[in-house]
Amino acid sequence: MKLTDMVNPAVLTQPVYEPGRPIEDVAREMGLNPKDVIKLASNENPLGSSPKALAAMRAALEQVARYPDGGSLALSEKLAARHAVTREQIVIGNGSNELLELLGHIFLRPGDEAVMGQSAFVVYKLVTLLFGAKPVEVPLDHAFVHDLEAMKSAITARTKLVFLPTPNNPTGTTNDVGQLADWAAGLPDHVVLVVDEAYGEYLDELVDWGPLISAGRKIVVLRTFSKIFGLAGLRVGYGRSTPEMASLLQRVRQPFNVNLVGQAGALAALDDADWVDYCRRENAEGLRQVSSALDTLGLRYLPSWGNFLLVEVGNGRAVFNQLQRQGIIVRPVEIYGLPKWVRITIGKSEENDRLIRRISEGINQSKQ
């Protein structure tokens, strides 16, 4: 019997996620010194991790012969206090991506639908397809912002999940806070709203989901330690929701889904508010630096509320290749239906300078 005859059909047609390329990989391929390669491709924190988190993780290494706390209790407790909810309303995941998959386990079966923006974070679509459900992709509006009314209209009796990233990756755009709250409150009772606040700490103003969650609305709000907290390599994210929803997520996760070093690092990172403030300021400065240079070069980009910019370059894949030859890794975004654009993570000031120096050259060469 052929192996493919045995496989769940959704697996055979499952698209493959293309991550930002690792520095070592690109250096080897391009014959460059890894020290000369910069990665502006995965919206990581260019400043690294909080020194307090690093110290806690080094100490935690001594403990790794032991299994981690399976329920990530200390971390859940701390996050509950931070968001003024109970510990029973928090679930920790192996990155927030794991929580997206767990939502698929809980809610999606073949024939079900999930509503999402057309150029929304691609993992929503991947998870939906993996469970044999149908992604219903709603075009963004003219400003590349999630079209809330169109998304609501796309909800049918088969819709189980509605994904709303704020801000969205890769566009960096975000919805008006007041409109978002009203829209969420008006969604039908048979859908679960998944709000993805992966870049939430970069924003000055966020929806207060507390009242809706307390009122028992079916909302899951996701956050991650991968972005401003600078802990992407550890894989820690979390969700907050009603106790009922959280207990479903707890039920379908692996018993030790979050590693011991990750829990220690995340806990300590939460205690380092100064570091987060510093990173937020540096990112704002970097966004100004890169956007004003793009203005000067006459390149179009979308206003971003995250730590990255979506830039229109003509042929995104070709410009990605050209920049890569110069040791600059950015992200092509054809998979988002945006073949003319590349996504560029804001780096350290000198990295941004290097990108700015090379981008026009890359665009010109990509046309030859």
Ligand X SMILES: *Cc1c(COP(=O)(O)O)cnc(C)c1O
Q: Which residues bind ligand X (CB under 6 A)?
A: 43, 95-97, 121, 165, 169, 196, 198, 224, 226-227, 232, 237
Nearer to ligand X, 165 or 286 (CB): 165
> If DSSP codes are grouped into helix, strand and coil, which group holds residue 237?
strand
Nearer to ligand X, 68 or 170 (CB): 170
Q: What are phi and psi of 32, to 5 degrees?
A: -110, 160
Helix-strand-coil split of the chain, %, nearest 5: 45, 15, 40
How is 193-232 classified by DSSP, letter by letter? EEEE-TTGGG-S-----HHHHHTT--EEEEEESSSTT--G
Nearer to ligand X, 224 or 322 (CB): 224
> If DSSP codes are grouped into helix, strand and coil, which group holds residue 163?
strand
Nearer to ligand X, 194 or 363 (CB): 194
Smallest separation, CB 101 to ligand X (Å)? 10
Smallest separation, CB 348 to ligand X (Å)? 19
Smallest separation, CB 226 to ligand X (Å)? 3
Q: Which of 76, 2, 68 is nearest to 254 (CA)?
A: 68
Residue of this chain nearest to ligand X (CB atom)? 95
Smallest separation, CB 30 to ligand X (Å)? 25
> If DSSP codes are grouped into helix, strand and coil, which group holds residue 136?
strand
Those residues whose C-beta lies under 8 Å from the C-beta of residue 318, and which sit 6 or more positions away, are: 366, 367
AA letter at 253: R
Nearer to ligand X, 18 or 295 (CB): 18
- The H-or-E segment that residue 268 falls in is helix 260-270
Smallest separation, CB 189 to ligand X (Å)? 25
Nearer to ligand X, 107 or 163 (CB): 163
Instruction: Supply 190's token pair.
Output: 């048979």
Smallest separation, CB 232 to ligand X (Å)? 6
